[in-house]
Amino acid sequence: MAVYTHVSAEMMARFLDDYDTGELISFKGIAEGVENSNFLVETRGGQDGHRFILTLYEKRVDPGDLPFFMALLDHLAMRGCRVPRAIADRQGVQIRELAGRPACLIDFLEGISLSAPTPAQASAAGIALADLHLAVADFSGTRPNSMGLAAWRDLAERCAGQWQQIDSGLEQLVSTELSDLEAHWPGDLPQSVIHADLFPDNVLMLGDRVSGLIDFYFSCTDARAYDLAITHSAWCFSNDGRNFDTSLSDALLQGYRSRLALDDAETAALPILARGAALRFTLSRAYDWINTPADALVTRKDPMAFARRLAFYSDPANARLFA
């Protein structure tokens, strides 16, 4: 949540010389996104709109994945989804370089990211997720899920010996769940490209309407129902994971299903997929927690917020939520 790379206004103005976007009139670093540097760019007099996000890709995004992401966003936009496309320069190039980093000039979308969505907003998010799944039916790109089941044991092992600094019961919970999920993970569900990180942060809303889905940098090929489970884990609890909200859950699932029916295997799999989603974020947050100094300006996200969700989803009594 910071600007990692300095870009001067003059550098930005020269960068824009290759685009049909007009004259630079405002340029501000913004504090958001995964670990990239983002700038709000405003121009006037050009043909191609007037407000953009400039993203410089720092360490977490593999530059080799950018063509996949950009093709996905173009495809989704073409199919009517509200997503930020990368603007092409006059040579038709979307992925450029600035300040030594891969850089894309991206559509600016209106809308605000909610911290405490209502059921109506959760329903709209469910609909938007299903529409995304429908829109990629004829998208040919694929990308392995680098944060999927296969990655979890390695991530857990990289936290070995450090769990205690987070919570005394965490190692046992992770170990039990990991073994059980590896043994029972469903392998034959309908797949497509999925967003894989559709937290409220990544859904722009105007009132109860979704005005944009953003931050596709974890998007990959995986089970569609797993995407719904990730979204469920991200939307239906208080931030600290202590309180589950049935009305948000019902609204999200109903919204999704109103556009795209789940088959019996998907419905039956949702409880285990939700455990997987909660474990995935528990693990990535635990790894970041252990590897981020406590006094860093970057706020560490609490792994326990997802460990609590994991415990919730692991309770067989809660499986009925997905029925």
Residues that bind its own copies (CB under 8 A): 1-3, 8-10, 12-13, 23-32, 40, 42, 110-116, 206-207, 293, 295-298
Of the two residues 7 and 272, which places its CB atom closer to its own copies in the complex? 7
**CB 255 to its own copies: min, Å:** 20
Closer to its own copies by CB, 117 or 255: give it. Answer: 117
- CA 64 – CA 140 distance, rounded (Å): 17
Under 8 Å CB-to-CB from 172, ≥6 apart: which residues? none
- If residue 171 lies in a helix (H) or strand (E), which one and from where to where? helix 170-184
What phi and psi values does residue 90 have, to the nearest 5 degrees? -65, -20
CA gap 273, 224 in Å, rounded: 10
Cβ 42 to its own copies, closest distance in Å? Answer: 7
**Minimal distance in Å, beta carbon 4 to its own copies?**
9
Task: Report in angstroms how near the CB of residue 156 gets to its own copies at its nearest.
Answer: 28
Residues contacting 37, CB < 8 A, separation 6+: 2, 3, 4, 5, 7, 29, 55, 56, 58, 101
Rg of the chain taking only CA atoms, in angstroms: 20
Q: How many residues does the chain have?
A: 323
Query: Nearer to its own copies by C-beta: 3 or 319?
Result: 3
Nearer Cβ to its own copies, position 32 or 48? Answer: 32
Q: Name the token pair of 181.
A: 């999920």
Distance in Å, CB of 189 to its own copies, minimum: 34
Phi, psi of 205 (to 5 degrees): -130, 150
Q: What is the nearest approach in angstroms of its own copies to the Cβ of residue 29? A: 4
DSSP reduced 3-state for 161: coil
284: CB partners within 8 A, 6+ apart: 147, 155
Distance in Å, CB of 214 to its own copies, minimum: 12
* Residues 6+ away with beta carbon under 8 Å from 73: 83, 84, 85, 86, 216
Per the rule left: phi > 0, alpha: psi between -120 and 50, beta: everything else, 100 is left
Whole-angstrom distance, CA of residue 9 vs CA of residue 26: 8
Our CB check for its own copies shows the closer of 9 and 150 to be: 9
